[in-house]
Amino acid sequence: MSRRKIGFWYRLAAVICKPPLVVLVKRDWRGMENIPADGGFITAVNHNSLVDPFLYAHFQYNSGRVPRFMAKHSLFGKGFAGAFMRGTGQIPVYRESTDALSAFRAAIAAVDAGECVAFYPEGTLTRDPELWPMTAKSGAARVALQTKCPVIPVAQWGASEILPPYSKKLSLLPRKTHRVLAGPPVDLSRFHDKEMTPEILKEATEAIMASVTSLLEELRGEAAPPVAYDPRRERLAQRRVSESRKRRDTTRGPVGTGEAQ
């Protein structure tokens, strides 16, 4: 198989979702020529709003290569939503379980079958204060190195104006513009003949995210921070501050126990 056909469920989603998206959101889409016409590949996309998967899926659908997203397994339950997720071939991710690797096996199988698998390498909404991409998980790099498929970096911007991260308040008017810029494949050839060690996966992941960030700089017309926001580093720093405060409080003793009389 050279590419996945647009089946019933994706066409149904297009019928339901495209008309309001076209009416409510303006589009500035560039780089669609970099989306491969045939064969399996990965897209690596930044994530800064809960609505950007729908907006990005619109872009990808219009390219003629429908994406298979990595999505949390709870979305695959009963009802219409679960039927839609299964019908469109999305890939369930079982986080923090013994079956976590099944998602990567499914992604590898999809790429080998000539499909597009869309990754949000950060794994969640960015926590960077200015919404720049964070440090990423190694899943996209792992699948890319295993299959040696093209990795297309994609930057998107504007969805956070419609729905800010971790907000429930939509802002549709005045109409916002969703900007997308897809770049040429990330060159990972230097990793192909090397053992897939944690160090190699880290380097490949950083190469992918550097390409995504560079495209986002072009979209936003400004420079990203020199060091990507690392939520693990931030949590560690906060823990150290908290422990330091506890030590100071313990050293001082209870309030009002000073020796002066």
Q: What is the pLDDT of residues 141-183, one digit of tens each?
A: 999 999 999 999 999 999 999 999 999 999 999 999 999 999 9
What pLDDT was estimated at residue 233? 87
- Token duo for residue 16: 């339901």
Contacts of 37 (CB under 8 A, 6+ apart): 3, 64, 65
Which amino acid does the sequence have at 101? L
**Per-residue pLDDT band at 188 (split at 50, 70, 90):** very high
Could you give all domains of the chain from N- to C-terminal order, each with its CATH number?
A: 8-251 (3.40.1130.10)
The answer on pLDDT for 81 being more than 90 is no
What pLDDT was estimated at residue 83? 84
Task: Answer yes or no: are the C-beta atoms of 220 and 125 closer than 8 Å.
Answer: no
Q: Which residue has the higher pLDDT, 12 or 229?
A: 229
**Nearest to 144, CA basis, from 95, 97, 205:** 205
What pLDDT was estimated at residue 144? 96
Write the DSSP symbol of residue 30: E
Classify the phi-psi angles of 150: left when phi > 0, otherwise alpha if psi is within -120 to 50, otherwise beta: beta
- Token duo for residue 50: 């809960």
Q: Which residues in the chain belong to E strands, given as ranges? A: 25-30, 41-45, 67-72, 91-93, 116-119, 151-157, 176-182
How do residues 125-146 score in pLDDT, each as one tens digit?
999 999 999 999 999 999 999 9
> Residue 124 in 3-state DSSP?
coil
What pLDDT was estimated at residue 117? 96
Judged by average pLDDT, the poorest of 1-10, 28-37, 173-182 is: 1-10
How far CA 148 is from CA of 42, 111, 120, 123, 191, in Å, comes to 10, 10, 19, 22, 10
Q: Are strands 25-30 and 116-119 parallel, antiparallel or unpaired?
A: unpaired
- Token duo for residue 93: 């991710």
Rounded CA separation 40/102 (Å)? 19
**Per-residue pLDDT band at 93 (split at 50, 70, 90):** confident
What pLDDT was estimated at residue 26? 97
Contacts of 169 (CB under 8 A, 6+ apart): 163
